[in-house]
């Protein structure tokens, strides 16, 4: 191995590429140093990497270069630059980290870090590089001290007497006195200020604004965390730019429009040129500071003909100001841009990074890069177990490559980011009349035998939770682990029957990890840096279609369908539903269920949808998110409307149906047991499929059933692995499909059925689900199955201790594993599942603590005596310690169940 191979890993990806062609992708590591991630891309970071169990978003380096400070979602990590190993991890607690913002004082004694509430954390830096919490400076939000200001970018004056802080929710730049913590000045800027840099003479500051300028009277706008934000007709935020602030008058004196999601900034040493990363526009803007205008707009993509999706997220200038380094989150790479005097900026090459780079430093001969997702949810455990919240971010140190090395690295980036596949997915096909219709056309524009698609979106289950039992029994099928299945055939008979009758996908993954990014992946085929940076605290929004700053500029699946002239109808997706009860009734689940069961239909479910373009095509009576509404109500309404469309011959081309009740509500008196919620969801799926399979349009229809994310669960293959059903007369029958597929591929496949080219790189790179289909259709209809578990099985009044298997709150088919660790068993018996559930906020998706809800669901199904599979669940073990459980308690316990 030569020196270049040792430094950069050149050549390994060629071997990997041939291996990937020969066998289906599987999320994980096909070879040392490389990882297949849930997007289907390969990450093979150049240089030297250290992994951390967190999501890093910002970097700072000590003046002597001995230490690198990493701001991540749970606190701050210190890395020893000499050994490139973690020296210290300091948890900041509470809402520890905003999207960006960290600054080191000139004397190196203080590290200032902005948190996800209202604080600037002042951390004392010791001579050995370790840090300790010293104080917190509180910066009140827009409505006062109890409101969060969500401070982000921060810069210090040269004498370290003041900090300039972007207050995202206040839409202001605060000048903070670092001696007494007071705000000297509060300066209005644009919407959601993100980053700030100060001119060398300290006369001006430059602030990037995620949401750009504020809308004028008569311009379209939508709410983002309390601020009206300029939007386009699709509901996507349509402005982004830089505020120029005069630090003598303490006022914004100019605003320069740059591009969507203006984020990271880099200022030349002489203060004359400012660079802006526009994450939602795939551009970097160069601003002439003296003229206060754009001098160049650089498109940053590995190939200029690619659609949106590179998502430049961070910038660093070389010491001589002749090279700009740009992290591109969508390509898992750094773009190298030449700024040679007298020439226009141009891309000279690419350097491979980990998954979703979000921060970068240029230090002499090296680059330091923080990768927000790193290698994904592949948290290192001795047993090799995974969960979607077991984050594994990474920090790279990369020698700046010479020209030949950069050329080799560039080729690797294009291979690993699947650039050739995306370009092929963009290629138009032949004239429709000249091509025989097939289920999934080979090229955009070619015809499909399918004319109608129903897309069902559900909530929060993994493959093993539902289909793990299929790997056991007399006819084992699929890659499952029966011991991890708690919602098996007795709870989900319809999903089991559909997976067995059509295709069982046992290598299918959700791209995201929770509802905020999960619904974006499911409906956009992408997730923007705005979302991926927010895991330290979703203070601005935990979006469910109600924050225009989160959406991709490529738009939603319905935007593409409508623009192509097809029809669309939404039944509940991105809808928060209230309940209007009949007189004398409450909004409780019991009363809503009784109204449904009696057939009176006296309850109404007023909708609340934040996206205008979605609202226009939404059935106003279709319920959305509300755990007090049974999925049978949703299914009834959909079936009634579908039958009307079918009779009229007006069934929409694309329909989306939201069935969220497999999310469950934990264990709470008067609500369904977790397994009853899941059974309700399963029956709703079965009834909807039954209705469509007996309709006039069945022969021309395909149904996709998808989870928004897999976070409330566990899986022995990967935490992203989830369930997906593909149901159609044109689907294969009784077939296990093990090709790599993901959420983005569902979007890609649906749009290809309608002849559309991918609107962004990420789902353009996702494989089409062609292996699910056949050219020999079978139109045999489906009949729904009643689950063995009653859908009205309600959690009774709190007993002395929650019931065990067979006691009503858990399926009798489940058995407890032998509990050999008495300490762990005692700790489990002390758990109060009712109190744990009561402490959770279930008013919106995923406000409940994922780790706690996982624990509740497991023991509600298996009883308190059952061994909790901690090694397969949890955000890198976080949360269990707070519940009085330590992962090492389970180290000596045997698992008697099949470990298939």
Write the DSSP string, 799-820.
-SS---TTSSSS-TT--PPP--
- Alpha-carbon span 823 to 819, nearest angstrom: 10
Q: What is the pLDDT of residue 8?
A: 54
CB 601 within 8 A of CB 552: no
Q: What is the pLDDT of residue 871?
A: 65
Q: What is the pLDDT of residue 882?
A: 33
**Phi, then psi, of 792 in degrees rounded to 5:** -105, 20
- Alpha-carbon span 652 to 692, nearest angstrom: 13
Q: What is the pLDDT of residue 385?
A: 44
Q: State pLDDT tens for residues 424-456.
A: 999 987 666 688 999 999 999 999 999 999 999
Q: What is the pLDDT of residue 696?
A: 98
DSSP states of 229-275: EEB-TTS-B---EEEEEETTTTEEEEEEE--TTEEEEEE-TTSSEEE
- Alpha-carbon span 384 to 122, nearest angstrom: 38
- Alpha-carbon span 529 to 100, nearest angstrom: 11
Q: What is the mean pLDDT of residues 526-554?
A: 94
Q: What is the pLDDT of residue 689?
A: 98
DSSP states of 744-772: HHHHHHHHHHTTPPPSBHHHHHSPP-GGG
Q: What is the pLDDT of residue 19?
A: 35
- Alpha-carbon span 859 to 880, nearest angstrom: 14
Q: Compute how many other C-beta atoms are within 10 angstroms of the C-beta atom of residue 608.
A: 15
Q: Compute how many other C-beta atoms are within 10 angstroms of the C-beta atom of residue 424.
A: 12
- Alpha-carbon span 430 to 884, nearest angstrom: 63
Instruction: List all residues 6 or more positions away from 192 whose beta carbon is below 8 Å from its beta carbon.
Output: 168, 169, 171, 209, 210, 211, 224, 225, 227, 229, 540, 549
Q: What is the mean pLDDT of residues 576-580?
A: 95
> For residue 772, what are its two tokens?
């699910």
- Alpha-carbon span 28 to 36, nearest angstrom: 5
Q: Is 390 helix (H, G, I), strand (E, B) or coil?
A: coil
| 483 DSSP 8-state letter | G
Q: What is the mean pLDDT of residues 838-856?
A: 71
> For residue 835, what are its two tokens?
């109190």
Q: What is the pLDDT of residue 390?
A: 66
CB 177 within 8 A of CB 158: no
Q: What is the mean pLDDT of residues 357-371?
A: 96
Q: What is the mean pLDDT of residues 232-256?
A: 97
CA distances from 502 to 16, 451, 506, 573, 777 (A): 32, 19, 13, 25, 11
Q: What is the mean pLDDT of residues 383-394?
A: 63
- Alpha-carbon span 745 to 762, nearest angstrom: 9
Instruction: List all residues 6 or more positions away from 857 whose beta carbon is below 8 Å from its beta carbon.
Output: 486, 664, 666, 674, 712, 713
Q: What is the pLDDT of residue 848?
A: 66
DSSP states of 656-686: EEE--GGG---S-TTSB-HHHHHHHHHHHHH
Instruction: List all residues 6 or more positions away from 286 whose beta carbon is below 8 Å from its beta carbon.
Output: 273, 274, 275, 294, 295, 296, 297, 298, 345
How confident is residue 295, by pLDDT bands cut at 50, 70 and 90? very high
User: What's the order of all strands across the beta sheet hosting 262-267?
Assistant: 262-267, 273-278, 283-288, 293-299
| 214 DSSP 8-state letter | P
How confident is residue 840, by pLDDT bands cut at 50, 70 and 90? confident
Among 312-316, 431-435, 744-748, where is mean pLDDT lowest? 431-435
Query: Cα 401 vs. chain centroid, distance in angstroms?
Result: 32
Q: State pLDDT tens for residues 561-575.
A: 999 999 999 999 999
Strand 251-257, strand 273-278: pairing: unpaired
> For residue 771, what are its two tokens?
């292996």
Helix 12-22 and helix 403-416: axis angle, to 10°? 20
21: part of which helix (H) or strand (E)?
helix 12-22
Q: What is the pLDDT of residue 831?
A: 66
Q: What is the pLDDT of residue 361?
A: 98
> For residue 468, what are its two tokens?
């793990």
Helix 589-598 and helix 631-648: axis angle, to 10°? 40
Q: Compute how many other C-beta atoms are within 10 angstroms of the C-beta atom of residue 821.
A: 17
Query: Cα 869 vs. chain centroid, distance in angstroms?
Result: 24
Is the per-residue pLDDT at 481 higher than 60? yes
Percentage, residues of the chain above pLDDT 70: 86
How confident is residue 288, by pLDDT bands cut at 50, 70 and 90? very high
- Alpha-carbon span 296 to 315, nearest angstrom: 16
Q: What is the pLDDT of residue 626?
A: 95
Q: State pLDDT tens for residues 25-54.
A: 788 766 667 788 899 999 999 999 999 999
CB 425 within 8 A of CB 364: no
Average pLDDT, the chain: 88
Q: What is the mean pLDDT of residues 465-472?
A: 96
Cα angle 156, 158, 163 (rounded to 5 degrees) comes to 20
How confident is residue 865, by pLDDT bands cut at 50, 70 and 90? low
Among 300-314, 572-586, 884-898, where is mean pLDDT lowest? 884-898
Q: What is the dihedral of CA 689, 691, 694, 696, to 10 degrees?
A: -110
Q: State pLDDT tens for residues 324-342.
A: 999 999 999 999 999 998 8
> For residue 621, what are its two tokens?
């009576």
Encode burial over 331-363: b for 16+ CB neighbours within 10 A, e otherwise: bbbbbbbebeeeeebebebbbbbbbbbbbbbbe
Percentage, residues of the chain above pLDDT 90: 76
Q: State pLDDT tens for residues 643-654.
A: 999 999 999 999
Radius of gyration of the chain (CA): 27
123: part of which helix (H) or strand (E)?
strand 119-125
Between 90 and 512, the higher pLDDT residue:
90
Instruction: List all residues 6 or more positions away from 196 whose beta carbon is below 8 Å from its beta carbon.
Output: 153, 154, 155, 164, 165, 166, 173, 205, 206, 207, 208, 265
> For residue 392, what are its two tokens?
């594994």
Among 8-12, 28-32, 351-355, which range has the highest average pLDDT?
351-355
**Phi, then psi, of 318 in degrees rounded to 5:** -70, 165
> For residue 701, what are its two tokens?
């229809």
How confident is residue 670, by pLDDT bands cut at 50, 70 and 90? confident
Is the per-residue pLDDT at 544 higher than 80? yes
Q: Compute how many other C-beta atoms are within 10 angstroms of the C-beta atom of residue 789.
A: 24
Among 17-21, 98-102, 119-123, 730-734, where is mean pLDDT lowest? 17-21
Q: What is the pTM for the complete model shown?
A: 0.90
- Going by C-alpha positions, the residue among 511, 525, 513 that lies closest to residue 309 is 525
Residue carrying structure tokens 């993509």: 301
Question: What number of CA atoms fall less than 13 Å from residue 856's CA on the CB side?
Answer: 26
Q: Compute how many other C-beta atoms are within 10 angstroms of the C-beta atom of residue 508.
A: 27
- Alpha-carbon span 60 to 361, nearest angstrom: 8
- Alpha-carbon span 96 to 75, nearest angstrom: 6
Residue carrying structure tokens 């430093």: 361
| 559 DSSP 8-state letter | H
CB 386 within 8 A of CB 872: yes
């Amino acid at each position: 191995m030569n020196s270049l191979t040792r430094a950069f890993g050149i050549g390994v990806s060629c071997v990997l590429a041939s291996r990937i062609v020969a066998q289906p992708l599987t999320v994980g590591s096909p070879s040392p140093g490389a990882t297949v991630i849930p997007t289907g891309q390969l990450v093979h970071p150049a240089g030297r990497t250290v992994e951390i169990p967190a999501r890093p978003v910002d970097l700072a380096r000590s003046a002597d270069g001995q230490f690198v400070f990493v701001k991540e979602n749970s606190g701050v990590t210190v890395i020893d630059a000499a050994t490139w190993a973690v020296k210290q991890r300091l948890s900041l607690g509470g809402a520890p980290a905003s999207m960006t913002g960290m600054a080191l004082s000139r004397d190196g004694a203080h590290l200032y870090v902005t948190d996800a509430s209202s604080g600037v954390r002042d951390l004392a830096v010791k001579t050995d590089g370790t840090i300790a919490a010293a104080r917190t400076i509180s910066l009140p939000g827009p409505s006062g001290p109890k409101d969060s200001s969500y401070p982000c970018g921060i810069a210090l004056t040269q004498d370290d007497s003041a900090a300039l802080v972007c207050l995202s929710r206040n839409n202001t730049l605060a000048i903070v006195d670092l001696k007494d913590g007071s705000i000297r000045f509060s300066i209005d800027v644009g919407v959601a200020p993100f980053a700030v840099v100060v001119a060398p003479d300290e006369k001006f500051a430059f602030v990037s604004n995620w949401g750009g300028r504020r809308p004028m009277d008569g311009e379209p706008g939508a709410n983002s965390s309390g601020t009206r934000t300029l939007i386009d007709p699709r509901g996507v935020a349509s402005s982004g730019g830089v505020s120029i602030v005069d630090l003598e008058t303490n006022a914004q004196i100019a605003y320069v429009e740059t591009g969507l999601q203006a984020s990271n900034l880099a200022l030349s040493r002489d203060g004359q040129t400012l660079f802006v990363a526009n994450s939602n526009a795939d551009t970097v803007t160069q601003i002439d500071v003296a003229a206060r205008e754009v001098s160049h707009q650089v498109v940053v993509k590995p190939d200029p003909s690619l659609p949106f999706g590179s998502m430049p997220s961070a910038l660093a200038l070389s010491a001589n100001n002749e090279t700009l380094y740009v992290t591109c989150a969508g390509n898992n790479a750094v773009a190298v841009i030449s700024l040679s005097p007298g020439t226009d900026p141009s891309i000279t090459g690419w350097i491979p990074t980990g998954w979703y780079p979000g921060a970068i430093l240029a230090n002499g001969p090296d680059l330091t890069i923080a990768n927000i997702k790193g290698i994904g949810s592949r948290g290192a455990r001795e047993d090799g177990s995974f969960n979607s919240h077991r984050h594994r971010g990474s920090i790279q140190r990369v020698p700046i490559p010479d020209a030949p090395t950069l050329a080799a690295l560039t080729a690797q980036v294009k291979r690993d980011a699947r650039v050739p596949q995306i370009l092929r997915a963009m290629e138009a096909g032949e004239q429709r009349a000249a091509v025989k219709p097939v289920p999934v056309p080979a090229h955009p524009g070619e015809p499909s035998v399918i004319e109608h698609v129903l897309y069902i979106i559900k909530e929060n289950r993994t493959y093993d939770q539902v289909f793990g039992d299929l790997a056991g029994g007399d006819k084992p099928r699929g890659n499952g682990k029966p011991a991890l299945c708690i919602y098996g055939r007795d709870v989900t008979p319809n999903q089991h029957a559909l997976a067995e009758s059509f295709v069982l996908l046992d290598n299918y993954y959700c791209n995201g990890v929770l509802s905020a990014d999960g619904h974006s992946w499911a409906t956009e085929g992408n997730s923007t840096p705005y979302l991926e940076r927010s895991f330290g605290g979703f203070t601005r929004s935990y979006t469910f279609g109600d924050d225009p700053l989160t959406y991709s500029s490529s738009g939603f699946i319905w935007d593409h369908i409508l623009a192509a002239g097809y029809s669309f109808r939404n039944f509940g997706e991105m809808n928060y539903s209230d309940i209007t009860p009949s007189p004398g009734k409450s909004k409780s689940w019991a009363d809503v269920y009784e109204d449904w069961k009696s057939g009176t239909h006296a309850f109404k479910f007023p909708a609340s949808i934040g996206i205008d373009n979605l609202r226009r095509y939404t059935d106003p009576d279709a319920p959305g998110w509300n755990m007090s509404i049974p999925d049978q109500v949703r299914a009834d309404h959909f079936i009634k409307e579908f039958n009307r469309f079918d009779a009229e011959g007006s069934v929409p081309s694309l329909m989306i149906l939201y069935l969220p009740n497999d999310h469950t509500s934990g264990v709470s008196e008067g609500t369904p047991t977790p397994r009853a919620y899941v059974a309700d969801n399963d029956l709703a799926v079965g009834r909807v499929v039954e209705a469509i399979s007996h309709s006039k349009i069945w022969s021309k229809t395909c149904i996709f059933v998808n989870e928004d994310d897999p976070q409330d669960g566990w899986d022995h293959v990967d935490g992203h692995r989830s369930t997906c059903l593909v149901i159609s007369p044109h689907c294969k029958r009784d077939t296990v499909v093990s090709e790599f597929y993901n959420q983005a591929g569902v979007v890609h496949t649906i749009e290809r059925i309608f002849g559309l080219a991918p609107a962004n790189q990420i789902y353009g790179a996702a494989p089409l689900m062609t292996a699910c289909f056949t050219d020999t259709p079978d139109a045999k209809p489906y009949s729904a199955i009643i689950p063995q578990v009653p859908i009205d099985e309600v959690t009774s009044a709190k007993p002395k201790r929650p019931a065990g298997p067979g006691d009503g709150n858990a399926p009798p088919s489940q058995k407890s594993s032998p509990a050999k660790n008495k300490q762990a068993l005692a700790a489990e018996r002390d758990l109060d599942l009712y109190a744990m559930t009561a402490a959770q906020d279930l008013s919106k998706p995923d406000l409940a603590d994922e780790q706690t809800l996982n624990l509740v669901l497991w023991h509600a199904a298996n009883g308190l005596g059952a061994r909790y599979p901690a090694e397969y669940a949890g955000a890198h073990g976080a949360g269990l310690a707070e519940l009085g459980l330590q992962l090492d308690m389970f180290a000596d316990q045997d698992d008697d169940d099949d470990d298939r």
